Amino acid sequence: MLTNPVEYGTIRYSEKREKDEIMAYMNVEKKNKLAPGIKKVLAEYGVKGTLAKDTHTLKVNLKSGPIDFGTNGVNEYHIDSHFTGIAKEFLLKLKDAMMVGNHNNTDLMTDYFDVGWYISINVGKWDKPYEVTA
C-alpha cells in the first residue's frame, strides 16, 4: 500500500492506494475472474488455448483450432486492420473478454500511461506452433 504523495503526470496521488490502482497490474484473482468469459469465447469458436499472467499482463496462448490466423503474433491494437473474416471476429471477441473491467486513461501527448493491465494474444508458443485443425 502506498501512503506517500506521488505525482504522476497531472494526477496527484496522496491518499492510500493499492499498487494495482496506480499502475498496470495483473494478479491471480483478476485472471480467475476473467477466465470464464475467455474460455467461453474459446469454446464458441472451437479454439484451444491457455491463460497466463505476469505482473502487468494477461496472456492468452492459442494452441489449436479451426481458424487460420496466418501469423504467430497478434498486435492487440491493430486487429481490425490486420485480420479479416472469422479470425478478426474471434480475436475481437477474445480481446473484449480479456478487457472486462480494465481501464485506459493513457495520454500519449504527455507520455502518461494509465491502464489496469496489458493484454497479449499469442498464436502458438515459441516452442510449439499453433495447429490448424479441420
Q: Give tens-digit pLDDT for 11-70.
A: 444 444 455 456 789 999 999 999 999 999 999 999 999 999 999 999 999 999 999 999
pTM, full prediction: 0.81
How far apart are the C-alpha atoms of 52 and 63, rounded to whole Å? 13
Buried b (16+ CB within 10 A) or exposed e, 33-61: ebeeebeebbeebebebebebeeeebbbb
Give yes or no for residue 80 having a pLDDT over 50.
yes
The more confidently predicted of residues 77 and 12 is: 77
Domain extents in the chain? 23-132
